[in-house]
Structure 1
Amino acid sequence: MSRLRPDAYPSWAERDSSVARWMHGASTRDWVVRVLDAVSRIGDGWVWYIVILALPWFGRESGTACAIRMAIVGLVDLTLYLIIKRWIARPRPCRAIPGVRACSRPLDEYSFPSGHTLHSVAFSVIITVYYPVLAVVVWPFTLLLALSRVVLGLHYPSDVIVGALIGALMAGISFNLL
C-alpha cells in the first residue's frame, strides 16, 4: 500500500518546509531554545498525567468527570496518533531540511501529526469546558507548545495544525458521546 504523504504535493510541501525553516531561525538564540525546550518537555505528557490524577481531589465530582474524559480522550488520541504517524511516516524537518537541526530530543521517528499539540489541544478543550477560568493558563501553554515543536526543528507547521485539529475534534466528539 502506498502511503499518503504530505510531501506528495510538492508546492504545499515546499511552503511547509519554507515556513518551518523560517520559524527554526528563532533557534539561533540560546534563551529561545532553553525556554521552548522546557515547554516541549512539559508537554511530553507527564504534566497532563499529574493533572488527570489530581483533578478528582481538587474538583470533586466535576474533577472526576473531567479526569475520566481526559483519560479516555487521551487513550483514543494516542491510538489514532500512532496509526496516522506510522501510516504517513513523514520524516521530521531536522532530518529532511538542510540547516534545520533538532534542538530537542524527539520522542519518535516521524513528524506527522504533532502528538504534543494533538494532546495539548484535546486536554485544553476539555479543561476549558469544565473549568473556564483555567483557559488563561492552558491555552497560552498550548500555543507556546505548538510553536516550540516547529521552532525546535521537530515538526512542520502542518504537523502542528493537523494535530490541533484532531485534538479539538476528538475532544468535541467526546462531549457528544460520553
Structure 2
Amino acid sequence: MDDNNMLKKVAQVDEQLFLTLFNYNSPRWLKVIAFGLSKSGDGGLYLLMCAAVWWLSNNEQHQLLPITILVGFAIERPIYFLAKKSFARVRPCDCLVTNAYIVPSDKFSLPSGHSAAAFLVAIILSNFFPEYVWLLFGWASSVAISRVVLGVHFPADIILGAIIGSSCGLFALVLVVPV
C-alpha cells in the first residue's frame, strides 16, 4: 500500500470514528456535559488555577507552577498556530456534517487547541500534584473527546493536540523545575 492510499484509509477511519462520536440524536445530557467540559478547557480555568496555587501555596516548589504553565504555553501556542496553518484541515462541521453544537473560533481543525492546552496543563499539574494524576488525565481526555462530540474536531485532531500539549508540558517541566 502506497503512502497516498494509507493516508486515505486513515482519513476514512477518522471520519467514521467522528460520525460514531458526533450524533445528532445524542441525548441532551451528553451535549450539556460535553459543552461544560469543552468550556473548562477555554483558558479561564487555567488562569484561575495558577493564581490560586500561587496565592494559597506555602510550598516553594508549587510557586514554580504558574511559571511552568506560562513557559509551557509560550512553547505550545506557536507550535499550535504553525500546525493549524500548515495542515489547514477543514473542520468536520464544515465538510462532513451540517452543524456542530458550538461555533468554533476558527475554520481549521488540526490540531485541537483545547486538547493541546488540557494535556499541557494535566502533564504539568501531575508533576506538582501526582496524587491527582488520574483525575487530571481523565479531565484532559474528557475535554478532548468533548470537542469531537460537539462536532468541531476529528479524532485525529484531538490526538495530535494531546501529543503537542503533552510534549510542550514535559519540555516546560524540564526547563523550569529543578530535578
Normalising by structure 2, we get a TM-score of 0.88
Residue range with higher mean Cα deviation, 135-144 or 34-43: 135-144
Question: Retained in 1: the 8 A contact 2:72–2:171?
Answer: no
Aligned residue number for residue 16 of structure 1: 14
Structure 1 vs Structure 2 CA RMSD: 2.0
Structure 1 residue runs of 4 or more that deviate by more than 6 Å after TM superposition: none
Unaligned ranges ≥5, structure 2? 1-5
Q: Return the match for 1:46 from 37, 44, 47.
A: 44
Aligned residue number for residue 82 of structure 1: 81
Normalising by structure 1, we get a TM-score of 0.89
Q: Percent identity between the aligned chains? A: 26
Aligned residue number for residue 65 of structure 1: 64
Aligned residue number for residue 168 of structure 1: 166
**CA gap 1:58/1:134 in 2 versus in 1, 3 angstroms:** farther
Aligned residue number for residue 128 of structure 2: 130
- The one-character-per-residue Cα deviations of 1:19-66 (angstroms, maximum 9, x if unpaired) are 101110276211111111011011111101111222211223222201
2:125 alignment partner AA: I
Residue range with higher mean Cα deviation, 69-78 or 136-145: 136-145
Unaligned ranges ≥5, structure 1? 1-7
**CA gap 1:27/1:150 in 2 versus in 1, 3 angstroms:** farther
Aligned residue number for residue 157 of structure 1: 155
Query: In structure 1, how many angstroms separate the alpha carbons of the residues matched to 2:33 and 2:101?
Result: 11
**CA gap 1:26/1:135 in 2 versus in 1, 3 angstroms:** farther
Aligned residue number for residue 3 of structure 1: none
Tell me by how many angstroms 1:75 deviates: 2.2
SS of 1:112's partner is coil
Query: In structure 2, how many angstroms separate the alpha carbons of the residues matched to 1:53 and 1:63?
Result: 11
SS of 2:57's partner is helix
Question: Retained in 2: the 8 A contact 1:91–1:111?
Answer: yes
Question: Retained in 2: the 8 A contact 1:114–1:162?
Answer: yes
Tell me by how many angstroms 1:144 deviates: 1.0
SS of 1:25's partner is coil
Question: Retained in 1: the 8 A contact 2:69–2:172?
Answer: no
Within-5 A mapping of 1:101-116: 101-116=99-114
Query: In structure 1, how many angstroms separate the alpha carbons of the residues matched to 2:48 and 2:37?
Result: 16
Query: In structure 2, how many angstroms separate the alpha carbons of the residues matched to 1:9 and 1:136?
Result: 33
